[in-house]
Amino acid sequence: MEFIIVLILLLLWFFVAERVVRKILKVEKGSLEGTPGAKINAWSQGITIFLSLLIIPFAAEDWWEGMMFFWLVYLTSFSFVEAFLQWKYIPETREHLATLVMYPLGLGMLLGIGLLLF
């Protein structure tokens, strides 16, 4: 029960942090839909998930460590590919700045959840 409460608080914190980051950086909400980057983004997400899942058995002896490693690799790959595509195809929204600032916050949340589980 405590874990659920902490998880809800972390997700709420992440949501509020994103709103604050967007307000401070004056970043508009943007989408890659309708740009050539949408197709590239879909393919890159699929490839990232596939490669990350292949890494799990070799990442660690413990299943939880493997899952943490999976999410670390996935979050890092996804965030930087997404930020690059946003920078390239929708630079006027400055969405890439929000993605890059939210990456360390998401990573901290992932590590916090990992610490709660171990």
Range from 8-12, 14-18, 109-113 carrying the lowest mean pLDDT:
109-113
% pLDDT > 70, the chain? 97
CA 44 to CA 50: how far, in whole Å? 10
Highest average pLDDT, of 67-71, 72-76, 113-117, comes from 72-76
Full residue range of the structural domain in which residue 72 is found = 2-117
Q: Please state the separation of Cα 94 from the chain's center in Å.
A: 17
Which pLDDT value is given to residue 20? 94
List of E strands, 24-116: none
Number of domains observed in the structure of the chain: 1
Question: Global pTM?
Answer: 0.81
Task: Spell out the residues 6+ positions from residue 74 whose beta carbon is closer than 8 angstroms to its own.
Answer: 48, 49, 52
E strand or H helix that includes residue 62? none
